[in-house]
Amino acid sequence: MSWTITLLSQKQAEEIAYSWKYEGSYSFYDMTSDQEDLTHFLDPAARGTHVHAVMYEAELVGFIEVTPKDRIAEVGMGLKPSWTGRGIGLQFMEKMIDFLRSHYHVERITLAVAAFNKRAITVYERAGFSKTGVSQQQTNDSIYEFIHMSLSINID
pLDDT tens figures, 106-130: 999 999 999 999 999 999 999 999 9
Q: How confident is the model at residue 155 (pLDDT cuts 50, 70, 90)?
A: low
Query: Taking the model in full, what pTM does it have?
Result: 0.91
31-85 per-position pLDDT tens digit: 998 888 899 999 999 999 999 999 999 999 999 999 999 899 999 999 999 999 8
N- to C-terminal Cα distance for the chain?
Answer: 24
Kindly tell me the number of DSSP H helices and DSSP E strands found in the chain: 5, 7
Question: Cα–Cα distance between 47 and 40 in angstroms, integer?
Answer: 7
Question: Cα–Cα distance between 17 and 21 in angstroms, integer?
Answer: 9
* Domain of 101, in residue numbers: 3-152
Q: How many domains does the chain have?
A: 1
Question: Cα–Cα distance between 127 and 16 in angstroms, integer?
Answer: 24
**Spatial contact of 113 and 150, defined as CB atoms under 8 Å apart:** no
We report the CATH number of the domain holding residue 12 as 3.40.630.30
